[in-house]
Amino acid sequence: MKRIIAIMCFLTILFGIILGVSYMRADASQKTIANKLIRFHVIANSDTTEDQALKLKVRDEVLKYITPKLKNAKDIEDSRKILESNNVIIKEIAKKVVKENGYTYTVNTMLSHENFPVKSYGNITLPQGNYEAYRIIIGSGEGHNWWCVMFPPLCFTDITKGEIAYEETEKEMKSVLTPEEYKLVDNRNNEEIESNEVVFKFKILEGIKSIYRKVQKTSFFGLLHFAFLLICYFEKDNTLNYICHFQNEVLCN
């Protein structure tokens, strides 16, 4: 019995160490990448065809205005200053588009840090995590959003053009990311199975983070309870089985 308990304690500690290291590596990689990027999101009022079409019109007019300015940005701090200094004008452009299309939706624009799920843009797949983003929220902002990367300037690369666009994207991303970081987000072969593998890899990292957070909230007694359940599963002693049955009735219900 003592040997089983010792083994369970060892396995619990080992599991915690492996989970912790995996979490820290995934979290560190995401934060390093996120610190070098500014995302751009345009969020529609709803998912109706009309609201989604309006979202794209707002996007087009805003990008038409801000493109020349961001293209000349020297670094991420310069891009941030450009967005902040042009925030009022961008908001007015978006409001004008909304009004010209016969809507009375409010428009909110902001540069903030938000949590985003795994997302792909062309040959780039970004892991889930907290990113700095310039957001335009139309109306209630309950619809799907259109997104891209404002720094480095990927919003202005037409990903429908094929290999040339991918080469431009690679060039821009490699200008701010290390080779190791770029390799992590690249799905450049543009084959469905390979792209899905990149997304799947980040989904696994999301799962690791989720499990780690749950384990952090689990009490030591909860872990012991889990270990005890495993012991009960393998032990055949009648007295121990009775105790196991009792603790299951009390602790699990």
Average pLDDT value for residue range 54-63: 96
- Is 90 exceeded by the pLDDT of residue 196? no
More confident residue, 213 or 50: 50
Alpha helices in 35-157 (DSSP H): 49-71, 76-85, 87-100
Residue 181 lies in a domain: yes
Residue 203 lies in a domain: yes
pLDDT at 247: 44
Residue 115 lies in a domain: yes
Contacts of 169 (CB under 8 A, 6+ apart): 122, 123, 124, 154, 157, 159
Domain span including residue 156? 28-210
Please give the tally of structural domains in the chain.
Answer: 1
Residue 88 lies in a domain: yes
Q: Is the pTM of this model over 0.85?
A: no
Cβ proximity of 28 and 102 under 8 Å? no
Residue 133 lies in a domain: yes
From residue 54, give the alpha-carbon distance in Å to each of 65, 92, 109, 159. 17, 15, 16, 21
What does the block give as tokens for 118?
């795994």
Residue 85 lies in a domain: yes
What does the block give as tokens for 116?
């985003």
- Is 50 exceeded by the pLDDT of residue 68? yes
Average pLDDT value for residue range 173-188: 86
Residue 60 lies in a domain: yes
From residue 195, give the alpha-carbon distance in Å to each of 124, 157, 162, 171, 252. 9, 19, 15, 19, 42
Residue 2 lies in a domain: no
- Is 90 exceeded by the pLDDT of residue 99? yes
Query: Range with the lowest mean pLDDT among 78-87, 127-136, 168-177?
Result: 168-177
